[in-house]
């Protein structure tokens, strides 16, 4: 089915004797915004590595845009931002524009020239994440949240149909985290980019995303976010193995 971007079918994965994922099935379709949530060590990063084809399942299959993930070569269709992206120190010798422009390498190849409109593409990608005013700044001189926006811009420059983000808000304070999530919501709604977001911030994202998957070795729930909200208490008890209290935070706002 052409609408399915990610398809895991009965996937299991073990590190040595330890089962990290057990009989997991999941489908992500065009235009959907998924939050993948789960406690520490529940298999979320393993799930992402399987989707990106970095590891292969022991049993079951993983398909990306209809192709086996391990064979998938059309990398520009996917933008990936990891939790470690925001690790530049203040002396790192690259500007924000240069970092975003480097995202074109996926399209142009390492030794080919950048396209004539590369500057315009950089500007558009920076505008999409609200960072155009910082184009000439050193990447290491930005806050963690600002750096993550720049990495999103670098991923956006190849016009991906799917963005995969592995805990992109680690180390970002709540106010900036909320504006970061609002930006992701806009990319999803306005540009139709499907998003798979691994996060611990269930309460912040559950009203933003269209779908939720709760992972704890197996998938304890996957479905529309409204259904998740309706059945939240019982889902959480089953998924964490003990009752979990929901904490409400006030909405922040403002940009980075
Ligand atoms: N390279 C590895 N070798 C051995 N065991 C691993 C390896 N990577 C992960 N594991 C184990 O597999 C399980 C799932 O790990 P994974 O990193 O997928 O969890 P996670 O949900 O992403 O955790 P966190 O929220 O803490 O980042 C954990 O018990 C972990 O110890």
Angle at 81 between CA 150 and CA 195, to 5 degrees: 105
Token digits for 167? 């805990």
Q: How far apart are CA 67 and CA 97, in angstroms?
A: 33
Considering the chain, what percentage of its residues have pLDDT values greater than 70?
Answer: 86
Contact 139, 92 (CB under 8 A): yes
pLDDT at 68: 92
Give the number of the atom of ligand 1 that is nearest the alpha carbon of residue 215.
21
Confidence label for 122 from pLDDT (cuts 50, 70 and 90): very high
Give the number of the atom of ligand 1 that is nearest the alpha carbon of residue 21.
14
Q: Give the tens place of pLDDT for each residue, 79-91.
A: 998 876 556 666 6
Q: What is the mean pLDDT of residues 44-59?
A: 92
256 has a pLDDT exceeding 50: no
Token digits for 146? 């600002």
Among 42, 164, 171, the mutation site with the greatest number of ligand 1 atoms within 8 A of its Cβ is 42
Q: What is the mean pLDDT of residues 92-100?
A: 89
Contact 93, 131 (CB under 8 A): no
With a 6 Å cutoff on the Cβ, whether 199 touches ligand 1 is: no
Token digits for 45? 């990063």
Q: Which of 34-48, 85-99, 136-150, 188-202 has the lowest mean pLDDT?
A: 85-99
Q: What is the mean pLDDT of residues 101-128?
A: 79
With a 6 Å cutoff on the Cβ, whether 42 touches ligand 1 is: yes
DSSP per-residue string spanning 156-202: HTT--SEEEEESTTTT--HHHHHHHHHHHHHHHHHH--EEEEE-S-H
With a 6 Å cutoff on the Cβ, whether 103 touches ligand 1 is: no
With a 6 Å cutoff on the Cβ, whether 41 touches ligand 1 is: yes
The larger pLDDT score, comparing residue 170 to residue 160, is at: 160
Give the number of the atom of ligand 1 that is nearest the alpha carbon of residue 43.
18
ipTM: 0.97
Burial of 24 (C-beta count, 10 Å sphere; 0-12/13-18/19+): buried
| Atom 30 of ligand 1, nearest CA residue | 41
Show the DSSP H helices in 37-92 as ranges.
Answer: 44-51
> E-assigned strands of 51-189?
59-64, 67-68, 78-81, 162-166
Q: Give the tens place of pLDDT for each residue, 7-34.
A: 999 999 999 999 999 999 999 999 999 9
The larger pLDDT score, comparing residue 60 to residue 250, is at: 60
* Structural domains for the chain: 4-240 (3.40.50.300)
Q: Give the tens place of pLDDT for each residue, 184-202.
A: 999 999 999 999 999 888 8
Confidence label for 66 from pLDDT (cuts 50, 70 and 90): very high
Confidence label for 108 from pLDDT (cuts 50, 70 and 90): low
Cβ-based neighbour number of residue 146 at 10 Å: 22
Q: Give the tens place of pLDDT for each residue, 228-251.
A: 988 887 777 766 665 554 544 444
């Amino acid at each position: 089915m052409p609408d399915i971007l990610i398809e895991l079918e009965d996937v299991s994965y073990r590190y040595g004797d330890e089962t990290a994922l057990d009989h997991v099935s999941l489908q992500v379709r065009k235009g959907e915004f998924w939050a993948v949530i789960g406690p520490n060590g529940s298999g979320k990063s393993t799930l992402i590595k399987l989707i990106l084809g970095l590891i292969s399942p022991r049993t079951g299959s993983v398909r990306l845009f209809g192709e086996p993930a391990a064979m998938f070569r059309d990398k520009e269709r996917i933008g990936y931002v990891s939790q470690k992206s925001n690790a530049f120190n203040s002396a790192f010798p690259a500007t924000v524009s240069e970092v975003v422009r480097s995202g074109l390498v996926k399209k142009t190849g390492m030794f080919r020239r950048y396209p004539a409109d590369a500057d315009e593409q950089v500007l558009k990608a920076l505008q999409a994440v609200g960072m155009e005013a910082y184009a000439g700044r050193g990447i290491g001189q930005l806050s963690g949240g600002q750096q993550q926006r720049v990495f999103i811009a670098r991923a956006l420059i190849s016009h991906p149909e799917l963005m995969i983000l592995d805990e992109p808000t680690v180390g970002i304070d709540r106010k900036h985290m909320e504006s970061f999530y609002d930006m992701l919501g806009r990319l999803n709604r306005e540009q139709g980019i499907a998003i798979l977001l691994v996060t611990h911030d269930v309460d912040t994202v559950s009203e933003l995303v269209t779908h939720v998957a709760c992972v704890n070795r197996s998938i304890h729930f996957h479905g529309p976010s409204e259904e998740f909200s309706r059945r939240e208490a019982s889902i959480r008890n089953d998924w964490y193995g003990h009752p979990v209290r929901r904490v409400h935070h006030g909405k922040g706002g403002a940009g980075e």
